[in-house]
């Protein structure tokens, strides 16, 4: 949704509305306006009634009843002939952009939501019957307290975003798996595109980013790369980011990203334990 304005709070608080700036939910709220009665429908004094002539009481009863039934019939006919309306609601909040990316499939090889290319082949990211999720390379159980909330911002057409919420319109940690395209045939180029998307969408106020490159290696004969980093925000707080990418047989790339506040080792352990327990 790109329309700016005030909308009902996406967290379900009926007493406030929250401002959506066209790309993300903001922290600006205001009380929701109380509904006002339409003119002429508030409490009113009963109108004086004319005396009912004796012997015609049935007529005074029958005429209003027939009128009401006629209005009901007309209303039913109008509703039945009217096409169903489409109601657009503000999207659910997610990390960084506070907006769940659209799940409309992108054209293969095109850039999805300003980030990496969409997968050229079928999306390999699915949720398995046992509750685990896969991105085509690993099968992992979502960490406890990390419900699935839409798709990753770096792959809105293919993947799962698992978010540990924090009080208010914030997040504590994010663990995401998905797949992206590889238009240049070089997994290192994909790594740069995904990293740029992660930092730009999750940490829009980043002041400093320290990067550590993992050693490139092969997974089932296919190239795999990794990167970790420490992102320092404008307020001095920092977050840890882990990213793993492996090329798949069809040329697309599976991606796993985890990020959490550096001073929150519990959330970091939940993510690393999930990765340690993952299978192929």
pTM: 0.59
Q: What sign does the CA torsion over 74, 80, 82, 85 have?
A: positive
pLDDT value for 9: 81
Q: Domains of the chain by range and CATH?
A: 1-32 (no CATH), 126-276 (3.40.1000.10)
What is the per-residue DSSP string for 83-110?
A: PPPPPP-PPPP-TTT-SPPP-SPPPTTS
Contacts 24+ apart (CB under 8 A), 235-244: 235/205, 237/261, 237/262, 237/263, 238/262, 238/263, 239/202, 239/203, 240/268, 241/198, 241/199, 241/202, 242/271, 242/272, 242/275, 243/191, 243/194, 243/195, 243/198, 244/214, 244/275
pLDDT value for 36: 46
pLDDT value for 71: 63
Q: Which residues of the chain have pLDDT under 70?
A: 1-2, 33-114, 169
Q: What sign does the CA torsion over 134, 253, 177, 118 have?
A: negative
User: CA-to-CA distance for 80 and 176, rounded, in angstroms?
Assistant: 45
CB of 88 closer than 8 Å to CB of 94: no
**For the segment 16-49, what is each residue's pLDDT rounded down to a tens digit?**
888 777 777 787 788 876 554 444 434 444 444 4
pLDDT value for 65: 56
Q: What sign does the CA torsion over 128, 106, 171, 253 have?
A: positive
pLDDT value for 85: 33
Distance of CA 101 to the CA centre of its chain: 6
Q: What sign does the CA torsion over 45, 51, 54, 58 have?
A: negative
User: CA-to-CA distance for 158 and 124, rounded, in angstroms?
Assistant: 8
CB of 209 closer than 8 Å to CB of 202: no
């Amino acid at each position: 949704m790109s329309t700016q304005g005030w909308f009902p709070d996406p967290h379900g608080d009926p007493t406030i509305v929250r401002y959506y700036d066209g790309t993300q939910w903001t922290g600006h709220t205001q009380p929701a306006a109380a509904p006002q009665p339409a003119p002429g429908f508030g409490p009113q004094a009963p109108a004086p009634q004319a005396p009912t002539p004796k012997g015609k009481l049935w007529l005074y009863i029958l005429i209003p009843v027939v009128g009401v039934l006629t209005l009901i019939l007309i209303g039913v006919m109008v509703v039945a002939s009217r096409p169903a309306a489409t109601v657009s609601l503000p999207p659910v909040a997610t990390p960084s952009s506070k907006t769940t990316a659209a799940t409309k499939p992108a054209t293969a090889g095109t850039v999805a939501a300003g980030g990496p290319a969409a997968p050229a082949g079928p999306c390999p990211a699915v949720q398995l019957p046992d509750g685990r999720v896969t991105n085509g390379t690993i099968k992992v159980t979502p960490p406890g307290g990390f419900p699935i909330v839409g798709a990753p911002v770096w792959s809105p057409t293919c993947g799962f975003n698992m978010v540990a919420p924090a009080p208010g319109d914030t997040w504590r940690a994010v663990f995401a798996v998905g797949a992206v395209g590889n238009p240049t045939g070089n997994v290192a180029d994909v790594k740069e595109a995904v990293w740029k998307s992660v930092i730009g969408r999750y940490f829009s106020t980043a002041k400093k980013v320290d990067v550590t490159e993992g050693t490139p290696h092969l997974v089932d004969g296919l190239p795999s790369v990794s990167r970790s980093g420490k992102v320092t925000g404008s307020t001095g707080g920092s977050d840890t980011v882990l990213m793993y990418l492996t090329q798949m047989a069809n040329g697309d790339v599976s991606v796993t990203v985890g990020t959490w506040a550096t001073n929150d080792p519990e959330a970091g352990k939940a993510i690393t334990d999930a990765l340690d327990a993952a299978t192929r």
